[in-house]
Amino acid sequence: MSIFNFFKNQFIEVIEWTDDSSNTLVYRFPVANNEIKMGAKLIVRESQVAIFVNEGEVTDVFGPGHHELVTRNMPIMTKLKSWPTGFNSPFKAEVYFVNTKQFINQKWGTSNPIMMRDPEFGVIRLRGYGIYSYRVSEPKVFLQQLFGTNGVYTTEAIEGHLKKMIISGLSDLFAESGIPALDLAMHYDELSEAGREKMRPRFEAFGFDITSLYIENLSLPKEVEQTMDERTSMGVLGDMNQYQQFQAAKAIREAAQNEGGAAGLGAGFGAGQAMGHMLNQAQTQQPNTPSVPNVKPCPHCQEAIPHDAKFCSHCGKSTAPDTVPCVSCGAAMQKGAKFCPDCGAKQQADCPKCGHVNAPGTKFCSECGENLQQ
């Protein structure tokens, strides 16, 4: 070591750290031979805490602000007295800066499907993925449990362990919830919050606080999704007898269009037999289907009355629609119609002068008095 470097290293340090990364959890400030001098200045910024380790023990945890450190390393004097140890001071001290900001958008996902029992589909395999956020809440616990004396510790170092811990807890949560697979999508928020509470003590064991956890998607195997699609289709189709007849007719058409010759003919013949069997079943089941009563609503009170009734049994009014004679041919036509359905004559009288629409048969415009018979 040159004389210049010797005296340079004896100056009192100004210890600070500005984070220029997005994933650094811990940074150890580099000091020559870890010999922080008495009276060193420590600057801790917001979203940081500084852990001061003096002679192998954690002596203090500093929050944001300006601090002065106390060690047994006196500038120059301690160095000169360390000649028996090769001028290497035995009084070691380190400062670790811990990033306390939230580390957001950390991803979790199932590498293997989660086996669970569904009340509707039986045993199913469930996959899922989402994001979570966390921050360091107990720096001393974090030092003791995870990063130790590492100079730099990033989120990648703990990412795999946290992800497996989350998947393990969520697998247990999904199985205990008893929510059917068809209803999982409507419980994402509740499951996410329950998952965060379940993970909280596990994160606290490492000095972390899990600030958020979100389930983005839970998906079922393709076979189960196809079954769900089929059930949806059945609900849309409604009458299964009609659906079977439609499928049989479709099979006959496809068989007839087949260019396979005798094979196609045989397939068509088999499909025809199947259709005939289904038609017989449909006709057999037909009498058991309740008939729809032949009724209509009253045009005045909207009560249900027989379709051929001329007067309503509730309000007593005629069920015949209101009619008026055509202004040209006199044929009965629905009241309010603009043109006659028999002769096509226009029923309303438009004033050629002011454009006012007058009632049928009006001779003079009710707005400007213009003669409408010209």
pLDDT in tens, 274-297: 555 655 665 555 444 444 457 778
Distance CA 240, CA 234 (A): 8
Most confident of 195-209, 244-258, 270-284, 340-354: 195-209
Burial 26-35 (b: 16+ CB within 10 A, else e): bbbbebeebb
Give residue-wise pLDDT tens across range 218-255.
988 777 777 777 766 666 655 666 667 767 777 776 76
Q: What is the pLDDT of residues 13-64, one digit of tens each?
A: 788 998 888 899 999 988 756 577 777 888 999 999 999 888 778 888 999 9
Chain mean pLDDT for the chain: 77
The C-alpha atoms of residue 116 and residue 178 are separated, in whole angstroms, by 9
pTM of the model: 0.56
Radius of gyration of the chain (CA): 43
The residue with greater pLDDT, 119 or 187, is 187
Query: Greater confidence, 264 or 173?
Result: 173
pLDDT at 81: 39
User: Is 128:110 a contact under the CB 8 Å cutoff?
Assistant: yes
Residue 285, pLDDT score: 53
Q: Which residues have CB under 8 Å from 171's CB, separation 6+?
A: 114, 116
Domains identified in the chain and CATH numbers = 3-99 (no CATH), 103-222 (3.30.479.30)
262 confidence band (pLDDT: 50, 70, 90): very low
Residue the block writes with tokens 């070691």: 92
